[in-house]
Amino acid sequence: MSTTGNSTNLGCFYGVGVGPGDPELLTLKALRILQDVPVICTPRSETSQESYALDIVREYLDEQKQEIIRIPFPIDDEAGAAAVWRNAADTIGGHLTQGKDVAFITEGDPMLYSTFSYVLDSITSGYPEVTVEIIPGVSSVMAAAASAGVPLVTHGQRLVILPAVYGIDDLSEAIANYDTIVLMKVNRTLLQALANLEQLGLAGKGIYVRRASTAREEVVRDLSTLSEEDLDYFSLLIIKR
């Protein structure tokens, strides 16, 4: 997306996907923009000072010259979430109206389960004249498949990506109609997901991938070895019929 507004006075707002974790999986374009902009904006959870996206790109930044803004984001769809995104947009908008380009970084891709979509919404409604450019990134879905050595889908096949297991009926429906199912961020629902797979006769069909492309990456093909200790926010399950 590139909505060209009054770009002579306003900074450009970039949404930059920084990939699944390995800093080398940044795109050339993402790197160029991140080294060029004066302001980097990164989401962090309200309970932590950490930002995973920032960890990925930190080595490429010049923290002496570039300003880094950490924006706390609500963990779930909370009642106050809309206000959080409006505040975020105002913080970012302040820099943009000073003529500074701002890059909002997200792990993976900005358009797939990213906090960027909420910020984008707030910026485009609050600052409609701002130029927005979105730089797609390598998703953890693709990185996990690469790490597992398992093609997600080939010619003629159908893929479903679910944010979590909603229940065995949902999974059963997906299995019936699609070739491959990816369950994202199974951290809180891992054990339930595994129980459901077993109940559906799919016990041997799942592959668990944690922190794909990083030094802490783990690919687990025998799901019976998984326990609550294996919970991890950056994990997913690939299920092939």
Closest distance between its own copies and the C-beta of residue 33, in Å? 10
Give the Cα-Cα-Cα angle 236, 239, 157 (nearest 5 degrees). Answer: 120
* Residues forming the site for its own copies (CB under 8 A): 1, 3, 15, 17, 19-20, 22-29, 31-32, 76-77, 109-114, 116-118, 120, 124, 132, 134-139, 142-143, 145-164, 173-174, 177-178, 213
Name the token pair of 119: 């910020």
Least distance between its own copies and beta carbon 50 (Å): 20
Q: Could you tell me the smallest distance in angstroms from the CB atom of residue 90 to its own copies?
A: 21
Cα–Cα distance, 203 to 222 (Å, whole number): 9
Q: Measured between alpha carbons, how far is 88 from 84 in angstroms, rounded to an integer?
A: 6
User: In the complex with its own copies, which residue's Cβ is closer, 17 or 206?
Assistant: 17
For residue 167, the SS3 value is coil
Look at phi and psi of residue 22 and say left if phi exceeds 0, alpha if psi is from -120 to 50, else beta.
beta
What CA–CA distance (Å, rounded) separates 89 from 130? 12
Nearer to its own copies, 10 or 141 (CB): 141
User: By C-beta, is 159 or 227 nearer to its own copies?
Assistant: 159
Closer of 6 and 154 to its own copies (Cβ): 154
Our CB check for its own copies shows the closer of 161 and 195 to be: 161
The answer for residues whose C-beta is within 8 angstroms of residue 204's C-beta and 6 or more apart is none
Min CB(164)–its own copies separation in Å: 8
Token pair belonging to 91: 């913080």
Closest separation in Å from C-beta 69 to its own copies: 21
Choose between 59 and 229: whose C-beta lies nearer to its own copies. 59
Q: Quote the tokens at residue 34.
A: 């991140």
CB of 67 to its own copies, least distance (A): 24
Question: How many C-beta atoms lie closer than 10 Å to residue 12's C-beta?
Answer: 20
Collapse the DSSP code of 83 into the 3-class scheme (helix H, G, I; strand E, B; otherwise coil) and give the result. Answer: helix
- Quote the longest CA-to-CA distance of the chain: 60
